[in-house]
Amino acid sequence: MVGRFILYKLNQYLLFGAFGEESYNRDDLVEIAINRARAREWKGEKNEIYVVGDTPRDIEAAIESNVVPIGITTGKTTKQDLERAGARKVLSRLIELVDL
């Protein structure tokens, strides 16, 4: 129940995105999310986009796409590994996104 509550609360901030099951290529996921944002008439800049990922590859994809890489230690990857990959900030729980 807690996980669903957290996701419900975050849904007010996370209006669109892309997820691992949608493409094997992480770089594609960033573009999918950007296209979804534009379909909702978003007209912002890439530096306003946050990619939240729990692997170094997620962080690298964000950097390659010129968006803000945020690490999250909900997977097997450590905070140090995400920082080494280039995460601008590393969170330990999804709810911490609200404070960003």
pLDDT tens across 41-98, in order? 888 888 888 888 999 999 999 999 999 999 999 889 999 999 999 999 999 987 787 7
| Any domain includes 100 | no
- What's the chain's Rg over C-alpha atoms? 13
pLDDT at 15: 67
Q: What is the CATH number of the domain that holds 9?
A: 3.40.50.1000
pLDDT tens across 10-53, in order? 566 666 778 778 888 888 888 888 888 888 888 888 888 888 89
69 close to 88: Cβ distance less than 8 angstroms: yes
Query: Closest Cα partner for 48 from 27, 34, 67, 65?
Result: 67
User: Domain count of the chain?
Assistant: 1
Distance, CA of 26 to CA of 61 (rounded, Å): 6
31 close to 46: Cβ distance less than 8 angstroms: no
Could you list the residue range(s) of the whole structural domain that residue 42 is in? 2-94
pLDDT at 11: 61
Full-model pTM: 0.77
